[in-house]
A and B are shown apart, each in its own frame.
Chain A
Amino acid sequence: MKCSALKLCSGIGLSVFVAFAPQLQATESESFLIKNATLHTATAKGRLDHADLRVANGKIQQIGVNLEPQEGDKVFDATGKHVTPGLMNARTQLGLVEISAVESTNDTSTEMEGMGASFNIAPAINFHSTLIPQNRTNGLTRALVMPYNGNNLFAGEGALILLRSEKNGLIKQRAVQSAVYGSAAAGMSGGSRAAAYARLEKALSEATYVRSNLSQFKPGIKYEFSQSLDDLKALIPVLTGQVPLVIEAGRADDILNLIALKKKFGFKLVVSGAGEAWQVAKELAEGNVPVLMDPIANIPSFDALTVRLDGAAKLYEAGVKLIFTGGGTHNAYLVRQSAGNAVANGLPHTAAIEAMTINAAEVFGVKNYGQLEPGMDADVVIWDGDPLEVTSNTYAVFIQGERQSMVSRATRLRDRYWQLKGSQTGYSR
């Protein structure tokens, strides 16, 4: 819910949110100054204590100490509080799924023939999903929305979104191409990952051919390729390096094979899942391959027997760029709990913040987001404690400078059943 009008927000507050309304009142949020906070900047400056941050016109204007409010600034005393960029989860199905098991609300994948790499997920994103406020009120302001694989190794094209309940939440469609390798890919390739590898390689070779001979291909003609022509065309931005190719893989050898594939075709590879990535950390670092992972996921599988809680720390030490996911889609905001566990297992706190903000922004081409730095979009979250700590809650959430409502369907239910205790509105017991 856009919260730009004071009346709208306070109206919501009065009806259902009185008992637990945050101390801060909703504002026009044209400009504001956060005073005396611990800033997690996600820049080389790292963490700044007792620092101030000023926002105007939707952008971060200034960071420093003892900043003076300018005319019209709302001032937040954030003593004892922490501030981060709005968090980003880089592997979600936000907007694609409301209730996972209810098919009519689930648009995560397609099994349509000829629609693999060209499956652009963006039109399916429902910005009025209840998952958007659920995650936004908990500090997530951006997400990468990725399709799941249907029956093609290429899942399709993911989108970058702002967690706003309106159409302009779409920042960028076709932001990323997604594929799968390992045992899941073997299952789609007749039973062996060697066949899956050959198919990936073939698709990229064919896309290279199509790219070089684009004018030869005419509509209405069926061509003999391993993928549909649309799918091969969709891989051209991958070959040109405009769009990263995220490939799911766990086993160390699988990851090495993907690095070889990257070398052959020169695309921007991101390895996702990556349970055994720590074992090939050196090769990943040398190959400039970021890893997209949920650092709390430490249950061994036959695709990742050596997965471990300090995997993220080991990758970081080797110089691999980390991008975090976690919490699934419904609780995509819990990426911060995953990040906290990475820190508990040796990752520097600053690196964990970067893995939920600037790193994803850099790899996936999100402009003006991901750091507390003048000029950046003011996606800003004020936390009542350490943002990685499970006992911390959001105190205020801003997206591009706009204060967001803290109401979600869940808070509505909470308030109905706590305040009414079954005594009104026909819901007595």
Chain B
Amino acid sequence: MTDTAASPSVSTSAVSTSAGRGVADTVTNAIATPEKEQPYGALGLKDDEYASIREILGRRPTSGELAMYSVMWSEHCSYKSSKNYLRQFGQKVTPAMKKNLMVGMGENAGVLDVGEGWAVTFKIESHNHPSYIEPFQGAATGVGGIVRDIISMGARPVAVMDALRFGAIDDPDTARVVHGVVSGISFYGNCLGLPNIGGETVFDSVYQANPLVNALSVGVLRHEDLHLANATGAGNKVVLFGARTGGDGIGGASILASDTFSEGGPTKRPAVQVGDPFAEKVLIECCLELYREKLVEGIQDLGAAGISCATSELASNGDGGMFIELEKVLLRDPSLTAEEILMSESQERMMAVVAPEKLEGFLAVTAKWDVETSVLGEVTDTGRLIIDWHGEEIVNVDPRTVAVDGPVYDRPVTYPTWIDALQADSASALPRPTDADTLRLQFLTLLGSPNLADPSWITDQYDRYVMGNTALSTPDDGGMIRVDEESGLGFAIATDANGRYCQLDPYRGAQLALAEAYRNVAATGAVPAGVSDCLNFGSPENPEVMWQFGQTVEGLSDGCLELEIPVTGGNVSFYNQTGDVPIHPTPVIAVLGVIDNVAKRVPSGWQDDGHNIYLLGITREELDGSAWAGVIHDHLGGRPPSVDLGREKALAGLLHAASQEALIDSAHDLSEGGLAQALAEAVLRFGVGARVWLGDIVERDGIDTSVALFSESTGRVIVTVPREDDVKFRGLCEGRDYPVLRIGVTDATAPGIEVQDQFTVTLDELAARHRSTLPAAFAN
């Protein structure tokens, strides 16, 4: 792998040197010098990929074409290892799943009809590798990139959230990454004025040298404002606007995102982009005004692979032809070569297609916002993407060969040698507490463990109020935003993934993540409507990783089919490993739901005294892969909890009916840490205590007290019900045949949580355990 380990600055200078000082390699030159050696290896292309480029073109590529193909055919941009699998999402669909899907996979972001003429677009995307090298800028530009995807659909971005995975909390390097990533998200997201309404934070040594930063954004639009990024209409102008193009992020797509970090390799810092959220905020407002005034046909954001990607994708999705004069690109650094301009990943740039008669109006709007603009060329009907550099042709390609018809690999797949032994090592053999003191101690140990502790030290650095439409946010089960100020129409969204489950069984692990996100959204009172996923894996060149990947996609697509909610888009991130140790498979699943009026929303904790606490669902002895096994016994083995998506669907229906009739005033999903964690969080949400008894669960489900507290069985939620609605609520559960058990009562006079015949923990002690872990690790 020495070729791909070469530093990007070396790689690009290799290209420019081959072109000669300041004079680019032209098409004519390429025809004249067919045997010229080209540094395709340093740009991440394999021998056979280079050979097929030569075959497509019928000659050697120019250095500019080579730059374009290399970034666009990288794993990050081409999905060459995952494409064959991802097709399942398009195949496993029912008419019900298509009903509200306005735009599906393959566009910048999927779009769902949420009713009343409104649509919602959302997507989650990875920015993992940049965030390890340069955590602050890596995470910041991750937010910036996903927000530009949302704008390019014609939507106003209205929320962000982040799913984060860091190394062990006590590793000396973790604080560097956490501080950088959190302040980067805070810096960029806050400055954009987008409320951050949820997300997850997980610490695990498997992410030590490979943190995961998955950024999600949601936008809203009226149906008629939907735009697709394509270049149609010969003669329409192609306009680049926003920040100037600089030397940052060159080769980022091919070299950073598609290569495993090797120890002792040269630093890759120059290939990380640098973000300017102020420029992006201005760009958002500018784009929204351009849409509002109907001055653009379409807008494509510039992300990975910069101008190479934007021109080839716009042309491929449209009439197929485009002519660009590359020297018209406004530069931050005038010494950039044509190849570097094609590859630059400078942030806060957009490319628009504008009808000639609207160009004047377009330029007036960009001038109003002080956004620099240059007309680069126009749409043609030639079927060729032609790029000139000072009057000489340096690119002449069929854009589809760059953007669409890249290589596709059927990577070798092997059933992992270690997985049978891992699955045989069940947590059922671990000693379980039998006395009240040990139960109490383990309850508190879990509550303060890094992945179950209060993440406020992180989430308090994000603005959750801006825009004034936040109906729910962390720590509630899902974030919720009002879409329509008159009717109260809104959406809820939650992300989930449990890498430990996925390591034990990736098929089931993917469905568990889906089920949990689905349940979280249902717990807020919303109806789940669509999915976006960010699939984080090790190297696709490792056949065991490809087995995990295949299992995950199958589990997820089967799960979505059963729940009848479509996958609207997402992202695959491979090469998440250091050396040859891959991360746990980590499919982060975002589920978005719709609520007819956010006034009916349900929080995750109780505020009122004397309400009954009910547990919905059955508890089994399911401790394999649990937080209890991990935290108390440092154990990972066995089979993760079973999933019954039919039951999840029934539970979601029940929760929706109960929230519509205002029968419940809180609902909290049971997942990591089980009932113990859910009860503690529900008490801490508003500081109202509770008295709880476990005897009925133990008796009905045939389990012991520790299992009742710590099992992670699915399909379970705790809800509180005002006494006057008790009969109605029980009737609702019986009518829908969902198991329900009264397990306690809220009690404002209780000192905190009182588990009958077992133990009591005061509110102060709960709060101290829950809230001190992250500040102790990271607050200076």
- The judgment on whether A and B are partners is no
Which residues of B approach A to under 8 Å, CB–CB? none
Which residues of A approach B to under 8 Å, CB–CB? none
